[in-house]
Amino acid sequence: MTTVLFACVQNAGRSQMAAAYFNQVADPTRARAISAGTKPADRVHPEVVGAMEAEGIDLAGATPQRLTPDLAAQAQVLVTMGCGDECPYVAGARVEDWPLDDPHGKGTDVVLRIRDEIKVRVRALVQREGWAR
């Protein structure tokens, strides 16, 4: 089982969307995704909840969590999304950086564009690694 950790700053937008898409398309016997943030928000951003709801994914009950060393140690793959110097170092993990805009406070069109880019990147990662259902 491979664990992919999606990390951003607040764990209230990009990383939540990526983990949700990943867990929807990846074979759960081969890979799973978790997400966390360096400075977690109190809740997932409402504009992100709405964008994902349109895809049939419910993030309303998701809770942002702090990226701790113990959580990071679970990952074999780390995908960072805008946490810059605060992104963790995970010994032995393969690291990818996805330079994506933060959807927080953005208009619907921008949030949907970010969501769709995340969806494409997640699907490509899952296909490339052979984790598809």
DSSP assignment string, 3-55: EEEEEESSSSSHHHHHHHHHHHHB-TTTEEEEEEESS--SS--HHHHHHHHTT
pLDDT score for 115? 98
CB environment 49-80: b (16+ within 10 A), e (fewer): bebbeebebebeebebeebeeebbeebebbbb
Residue 125 lies in a domain: yes
- pLDDT of 5-57, one tens digit each? 999 999 999 999 999 999 999 999 999 999 999 999 999 999 999 999 999 99
| Sheet with strand 31-37: strands edge to edge | 31-37, 2-8, 77-80, 94-97
Res. 62 pLDDT band, cuts 50 70 90: very high
Tens-digit pLDDT profile for residues 104-131: 999 999 999 999 999 999 999 999 999 9
Kindly report the CATH number assigned to the domain that includes residue 37: 3.40.50.2300
Residue 14 lies in a domain: no
| pLDDT interval class at 90 (50, 70, 90) | confident
pLDDT of residue 133: 93
The pLDDT confidence band at residue 2, using thresholds 50, 70 and 90, is very high
Is the Cβ–Cβ distance between 12 and 40 less than 8 Å? yes
Is the pLDDT at 88 greater than 80, yes or no? no
State pTM to two decimals. Answer: 0.95
Residue 42 lies in a domain: yes
Q: How many domains does the chain have?
A: 1
User: What domain range includes position 83?
Assistant: 26-129
